[in-house]
Structure 1
Amino acid sequence: MTNPKKIAFFDAKPYDKRSFDEVNKDYGFDINYFDAHLDENTVELSQGFDGVCAFVNDTLNKNVIDHLNEHKIGVIGLRCAGYNNVDFKAAYGKIHVLRVPAYSPYAVAEHAAALILALNRKTHRAYYRTRDANFSINGLMGFDLHGKTAGIVGTGKIGKCLISILKGFGMRVLAYDKFPDKDYAEKEGINYVSFEELASKSDIISLHCPLNEETEWLINKESINRMKDGVILINTGRGKLIDTQALIDGLKSGKIGSAGLDVYEEENQYFFEDRSAEVISDDVLARLLMFPNVLVTSHQGFFTKEAVKNIAETTLGNFKEYFEGGYLKNEICYKCDQHCRKKDGKRCF
């Protein structure tokens, strides 16, 4: 580029800088990295830039969108698949919002499988015992995955990858999806059922559906009461798929045998940050961390070399399409019911 376009990159971590700087050698953008999250207090940092790069815990509400528009920002590049933090109604007609629809479904599915294995065989607890010279296996008993039933909520690319992994363990798979892929089910020998049936028959439940009005608090007091006693619950999707207080109640009663959480309802103040020298002021999160049968990871399901490289390549490719005036294949817009599916190769605005 003769005059490199300037991109304000928010919530930048060292690994972001390494991966984006490497990929940017092929694009030539002028990227300025900011440690701060994008929100109403930091949006003024975007002044003088041509585009903004944001992540899952950045705030893109109406006030932020309006300020970006005042600064003549025409594009927001989300370096993630999720977009529930964006006010698309406020952005429509002002700012194009682009995302990374897929980076590595294997990464997230494999992390979900890792959580299942760790919780079932209690390897996270065994790790600390042996480091303290405690070689007792009392209390560490698990169960064979072979022959058990896994319930997969959401059969997009990630859900399908996890199904393949769990079938390799010899598990029976039940699936729930608002838009079932019947050809896939027939080919793979899995059964689509109602969410209620999945909840009541599964030994392990793993969430891989998007967060929207229909799925917010999908896991709640009512659905937990339907579950088998001792069920393993895994969430690598979005935190608000689970009513956390209902989860805690289920853990206390023993209805939920264990929970693996890579996401959390109010994660934006903690996840991706080092708070080891501070007292956790979020009482709900602090309570979760006290359970020996809860394994919390800090939204790292996506975090593989392959995925991080794909995120950088797709994000910068999205910016390139925008600045060159091309069709924005990864745009999400309010007019097209969020997912922009125009077929004529033109932008909506």
Structure 2
Amino acid sequence: MKTALFSTKPYDRHYFDRYASEYKQELTYFENRLDLRSAPLAGGYDAVCAFVNDQLDRPVLTLLAENGVKLIALRCAGYNHVDIDAAQELGLIVVRVPAYSPHAVAEHAVALILTLNRKIHKAYNRVREGNFALDRLEGFDLYKKTVGVIGTGKIGQVFCTIMQGFGCRVLAYDPYPNEALAQQGVTYATIEEVLSQSDIVSLHCPLTPENHHLINAGTLRQMKEGVMLINTSRGALIDTKAILHALKHRKVGYLGIDVYEQETDFFFQDLSEEIITDDALMRLISFPNVLITSHQGFFTEEALTEIARITLTNLTNYERGEFIEANTVVHGQVTGR
């Protein structure tokens, strides 16, 4: 089957090429981000393979369908960037990679916590300049701190377990509590209780219309003074304007984000010689207590291997008229090939 991969980076080629022949799939790589301008490149392909910042709204999906595309294979877990209703109406099948390595993202969230707390990034730069002073590098013990976890799916579950290993009290909110976590000592509470009692709040939930701007001026007011906020899920869970205000007024003491509300135009690119025109992003970067990474939480060898293998499995199963329910977002009409 012929598949066009968009938003391709060298590491995508490396892992997909490693396994493509095993699955007997024909892949063509495009560096272009998938949007209305680049969608015609998919003409003549059975499927497109898209990533988190590709544009899959109604106009793009309509153009893909008109060009003969039948399958949208997401090489990510989230699908908030896909117009699901439009895909259903157009008869497009949408599949994804629901779990590639929950440990990768959970461990990255912990890395953000440790780096912000112990100011590792600042210490590294100081020592390189011959400055071995400890002034303003003090942190705090994680031991016995209260960590609030919003979302206890696969990634949230791993994160809870890691934080318990530090001796933290873990509070969690999820509409569907995980009984295994409750049995190992995680306390489920209301979202208000989680926000008000936690020294650290970490977001591990998908982006939906219901939780867009989950962290906003109102929910920020419920948090402790000087709270640490971590987001490795989706940027639009946080209202950027509200978080800037909270940082400026020292309500939020630390912010660690691997995602950003307007990341589409910036992340996964080298813009070191460009003028970055996003004033909110530049303001965030200017705060000494903010740490931003560019959506690299998933970026481990194990995760990239699973992403390639599961995506290729999804393509192969489509050819066979088979589906793995957990991997399928939208069922369409499978035509014989």
TM-score, normalising length: structure 1? 0.93
* CA deviation profile, 1:210-229 (whole Å, cap 9, x unmatched): 10011110000111111111
Unpaired runs of at least 5, structure 1: 336-345
- May I ask how many residue pairs the two structures share in their alignment? 333
Alpha-carbon offset, residue 25 of structure 1: 2.1
Counterpart code for 1:266: Q
Matched, 1:158 2:155: yes
Match of 1:24 among 20, 24, 30: 20
Aligned with 1:45 (options 33, 41, 44) = 41
Deviations 1:117-141 (A, max 9, x none): 0001111111111111111111111
Identity within the alignment, %: 52
Please give the alpha-carbon distance, in whole angstroms, between the structure 2 residues aligned to 1:132 and 1:168: 35
Secondary structure of 1:144's aligned partner: coil
Provide the residue aligned with 2:115 in structure 1. 118
Q: 1:193 is matched with which residue?
A: 189
Match of residue 101, structure 2, among 101, 104, 115: 104
Is 1:77 matched up with 2:66?
A: no
Secondary structure at the aligned position of 1:32 is classed as strand
Report the secondary structure of 1:26's partner residue: helix
CA contact (8 A) 1:185 1:192 kept: no
Task: Indicate the larger mover: 88-97 or 77-86.
Answer: 88-97
Determine if the alignment matches structure 1 residue 176 to structure 2 residue 177: no
Alignment partner, residue 333 of structure 1: 330
1:34 aligned onto 2:30: yes
Partner of 1:209 in structure 2? 205
Structure 2 Cα separation of the partners of residues 281 and 259 of structure 1? 21
Residue aligning to 1:246:
242
2:264 aligned with 1:268, yes or no? yes
Q: How far off is 1:179 after superposition?
A: 1.2
> Which residue identity does 1:327 align to in structure 2?
F
Partner of 1:278: 274
In structure 2, how many angstroms separate the alpha carbons of the residues matched to 1:186 and 1:120? 27
Indicate which of 216, 219, 236 corresponds to 1:220. 216
CA–CA separation in structure 2 for the residues paired with 1:139 and 1:64: 50
Find the counterpart in structure 2 of residue 342 from structure 1: none
Q: Deviations over 1:238-279 (max 9, x none)?
A: 000000111111111111001000000000111111000011
- Counterpart CA distance in 1 for 2:158 and 2:322 is 32
The letter for the 2-side match of 1:25 is S
1:137 is aligned to 2:134: yes
Whether the 8 Å contact between 1:220 and 1:242 is mirrored in structure 2 is yes
Could you tell me which of 11, 18, 21 is aligned with 1:15?
Answer: 11
CA contact (8 A) 2:147 2:199 kept: yes
In 2, the alpha carbon distance for the partners of 1:191 and 1:210 equals: 21
| Equivalent-residue separation in structure 2 for 1:328 and 1:158 (angstroms) | 20
How far apart in 2 are the matches of 1:73 and 1:179? 36
How far apart in 2 are the matches of 1:214 and 1:89?
17
TM superposition shift of 1:325: 1.2
